Amino acid sequence: MKLSNRFSPKVEQFWKSLGWWECLSNWNGKFCRKNHADCLHHIISPQSSGYIKGKHNESIYNSAPVNNWDCHIHKSMHIEKNERELLKEVKRILDLNGYEPDDNDKKFLEVYKDYYTFEVNHNIRNFNPVIKETFIDDNIRIIYNENTISVCCKSRDYLKNVAEKEFNLICTIIV
Protein backbone atom coordinates (compact mmCIF):
# COMPACT_ATOMS: atom_id res chain seq x y z
CA MET A 1 0.00 0.00 0.00
CA LYS A 2 1.42 3.38 -1.01
CA LEU A 3 0.86 6.37 1.25
CA SER A 4 -0.80 9.32 -0.46
CA ASN A 5 -0.60 13.06 0.18
CA ARG A 6 3.16 13.02 0.80
CA PHE A 7 5.10 16.20 1.50
CA SER A 8 7.12 17.74 -1.30
CA PRO A 9 10.93 17.69 -1.21
CA LYS A 10 10.72 21.46 -0.58
CA VAL A 11 8.88 20.88 2.71
CA GLU A 12 11.24 18.15 3.84
CA GLN A 13 14.27 20.23 2.82
CA PHE A 14 13.11 23.28 4.78
CA TRP A 15 12.89 21.31 8.03
CA LYS A 16 16.28 19.68 7.31
CA SER A 17 17.82 23.09 6.57
CA LEU A 18 16.85 24.18 10.09
CA GLY A 19 18.61 21.14 11.50
CA TRP A 20 15.30 20.42 13.23
CA TRP A 21 15.16 17.19 15.22
CA GLU A 22 12.87 18.33 18.04
CA CYS A 23 9.73 16.19 18.23
CA LEU A 24 6.56 18.28 18.07
CA SER A 25 4.23 15.45 18.99
CA ASN A 26 1.51 16.97 21.10
CA TRP A 27 -0.87 15.19 23.38
CA ASN A 28 -2.12 15.71 26.89
CA GLY A 29 -1.42 19.41 26.34
CA LYS A 30 2.36 19.11 26.11
CA PHE A 31 4.82 18.97 23.24
CA CYS A 32 7.33 16.11 23.44
CA ARG A 33 10.32 18.36 22.59
CA LYS A 34 12.80 15.46 22.73
CA ASN A 35 15.55 15.63 20.15
CA HIS A 36 14.41 12.49 18.29
CA ALA A 37 12.09 13.46 15.40
CA ASP A 38 12.57 11.01 12.55
CA CYS A 39 9.72 11.82 10.13
CA LEU A 40 7.13 14.40 9.10
CA HIS A 41 3.46 13.76 9.76
CA HIS A 42 0.38 15.68 8.71
CA ILE A 43 -1.29 17.67 11.47
CA ILE A 44 -4.63 17.78 9.67
CA SER A 45 -5.25 14.42 7.99
CA PRO A 46 -8.26 12.46 6.73
CA GLN A 47 -8.73 11.23 10.33
CA SER A 48 -9.20 14.83 11.52
CA SER A 49 -12.73 16.03 12.19
CA GLY A 50 -12.16 19.27 10.25
CA TYR A 51 -10.33 17.74 7.28
CA ILE A 52 -11.07 19.29 3.88
CA LYS A 53 -9.66 17.28 0.99
CA GLY A 54 -7.24 19.02 -1.36
CA LYS A 55 -3.65 19.65 -2.40
CA HIS A 56 -3.41 22.42 0.21
CA ASN A 57 -2.93 19.66 2.83
CA GLU A 58 0.61 19.18 1.47
CA SER A 59 1.57 22.61 2.87
CA ILE A 60 4.54 22.93 5.20
CA TYR A 61 2.11 24.49 7.69
CA ASN A 62 0.49 21.06 7.91
CA SER A 63 3.78 19.24 8.64
CA ALA A 64 5.04 18.23 12.05
CA PRO A 65 8.42 16.63 12.80
CA VAL A 66 7.72 13.73 15.17
CA ASN A 67 9.22 10.46 16.29
CA ASN A 68 7.13 7.91 14.44
CA TRP A 69 7.29 5.01 16.90
CA ASP A 70 7.60 6.69 20.32
CA CYS A 71 5.28 9.65 19.78
CA HIS A 72 2.94 8.94 16.88
CA ILE A 73 2.06 5.26 16.52
CA HIS A 74 -0.59 4.26 19.10
CA LYS A 75 -1.09 7.90 20.14
CA SER A 76 -3.67 10.24 18.71
CA MET A 77 -2.41 13.48 17.24
CA HIS A 78 -5.84 14.02 15.71
CA ILE A 79 -7.71 15.50 18.63
CA GLU A 80 -8.85 18.95 17.54
CA LYS A 81 -7.36 20.76 20.55
CA ASN A 82 -3.97 19.12 19.89
CA GLU A 83 -4.19 19.92 16.17
CA ARG A 84 -4.90 23.59 16.92
CA GLU A 85 -1.95 23.88 19.29
CA LEU A 86 0.36 22.07 16.89
CA LEU A 87 -0.70 24.18 13.88
CA LYS A 88 -0.01 27.35 15.88
CA GLU A 89 3.38 26.04 17.05
CA VAL A 90 4.45 25.09 13.51
CA LYS A 91 3.36 28.51 12.23
CA ARG A 92 5.33 30.19 15.03
CA ILE A 93 8.46 28.19 14.16
CA LEU A 94 8.13 28.90 10.43
CA ASP A 95 7.55 32.62 11.03
CA LEU A 96 10.55 32.85 13.37
CA ASN A 97 12.73 31.21 10.74
CA GLY A 98 11.68 33.52 7.92
CA TYR A 99 9.65 31.02 5.92
CA GLU A 100 7.86 32.68 2.98
CA PRO A 101 4.55 30.91 2.22
CA ASP A 102 3.85 29.93 -1.38
CA ASP A 103 0.36 29.88 -2.96
CA ASN A 104 -0.38 26.38 -1.64
CA ASP A 105 0.63 27.44 1.89
CA LYS A 106 -1.62 30.50 1.67
CA LYS A 107 -4.48 28.26 0.53
CA PHE A 108 -3.91 25.94 3.52
CA LEU A 109 -3.91 28.89 5.95
CA GLU A 110 -7.13 30.19 4.38
CA VAL A 111 -8.92 26.81 4.40
CA TYR A 112 -8.03 26.17 8.06
CA LYS A 113 -8.07 29.79 9.28
CA ASP A 114 -10.49 28.93 12.09
CA TYR A 115 -7.81 26.72 13.64
CA TYR A 116 -5.64 29.83 14.11
CA THR A 117 -8.34 31.97 15.78
CA PHE A 118 -8.18 32.87 19.44
CA GLU A 119 -11.25 33.87 21.41
CA VAL A 120 -11.69 35.94 24.55
CA ASN A 121 -15.04 35.73 26.34
CA HIS A 122 -16.18 38.12 29.02
CA ASN A 123 -19.55 37.91 30.73
CA ILE A 124 -21.15 41.30 31.40
CA ARG A 125 -24.40 42.41 33.07
CA ASN A 126 -26.99 45.03 32.07
CA PHE A 127 -25.97 44.88 28.44
CA ASN A 128 -28.21 45.68 25.49
CA PRO A 129 -30.01 42.36 24.69
CA VAL A 130 -29.49 42.68 20.95
CA ILE A 131 -27.41 39.98 19.24
CA LYS A 132 -24.92 41.70 17.03
CA GLU A 133 -21.73 40.93 15.15
CA THR A 134 -19.18 43.59 14.27
CA PHE A 135 -15.97 43.27 12.26
CA ILE A 136 -13.24 45.72 13.27
CA ASP A 137 -10.86 44.61 10.52
CA ASP A 138 -9.79 41.35 8.85
CA ASN A 139 -8.38 40.12 12.16
CA ILE A 140 -10.94 41.10 14.80
CA ARG A 141 -14.62 40.17 15.15
CA ILE A 142 -16.91 41.05 18.08
CA ILE A 143 -20.11 39.11 18.78
CA TYR A 144 -22.39 40.07 21.65
CA ASN A 145 -25.84 39.47 23.09
CA GLU A 146 -27.65 40.15 26.36
CA ASN A 147 -24.98 38.85 28.71
CA THR A 148 -21.91 37.77 26.73
CA ILE A 149 -19.39 39.40 24.50
CA SER A 150 -16.98 37.33 22.39
CA VAL A 151 -14.01 38.87 20.66
CA CYS A 152 -12.26 36.72 18.07
CA CYS A 153 -8.85 37.54 16.70
CA LYS A 154 -6.00 35.84 14.83
CA SER A 155 -3.44 37.14 17.33
CA ARG A 156 -3.93 36.10 20.95
CA ASP A 157 -1.40 38.59 22.34
CA TYR A 158 -2.89 41.56 20.48
CA LEU A 159 -6.41 40.69 21.53
CA LYS A 160 -5.51 40.08 25.16
CA ASN A 161 -3.65 43.42 25.39
CA VAL A 162 -6.56 45.37 23.89
CA ALA A 163 -9.14 43.65 26.10
CA GLU A 164 -7.16 44.15 29.30
CA LYS A 165 -5.65 47.61 28.72
CA GLU A 166 -8.36 49.41 26.76
CA PHE A 167 -11.45 47.87 28.37
CA ASN A 168 -10.08 46.79 31.78
CA LEU A 169 -11.43 43.28 31.23
CA ILE A 170 -10.24 40.15 32.95
CA CYS A 171 -9.80 37.72 30.05
CA THR A 172 -10.28 34.02 29.65
CA ILE A 173 -8.51 32.75 26.57
CA ILE A 174 -10.13 29.79 24.81
CA VAL A 175 -7.80 28.04 22.41
pLDDT at 52: 92
Least confident of 65-74, 75-84, 140-149: 140-149
Average pLDDT, the chain: 75
CB 68 within 8 A of CB 39: yes
CB 112 within 8 A of CB 44: yes
Least confident of 54-58, 89-93, 104-108, 148-152: 148-152
Least confident of 55-64, 68-77, 79-88, 144-153: 144-153
pLDDT at 24: 82
Neighbour tally for 85: CB within 10 Å = 20
Cα(96)–Cα(18) distance, integer angstroms = 11
Residue 169, pLDDT above cutoff 70 = no
Stronger pLDDT, 17 or 144, i.e. the higher one: 17
Residue 77 three-state SS: coil
Cα(31)–Cα(29) distance, integer angstroms = 7
State the pTM of this model.
Answer: 0.63
Model confidence band, residue 60 (pLDDT cutoffs 50, 70, 90)? very high
Model confidence band, residue 141 (pLDDT cutoffs 50, 70, 90)? low
Model confidence band, residue 108 (pLDDT cutoffs 50, 70, 90)? very high
pLDDT at 21: 80
CB 155 within 8 A of CB 137: no
Cα(78)–Cα(167) distance, integer angstroms = 37
**CB-side exposure of 14: number of CA atoms within 13 Å?**
21
Model confidence band, residue 1 (pLDDT cutoffs 50, 70, 90)? very low
Stronger pLDDT, 157 or 43, i.e. the higher one: 43
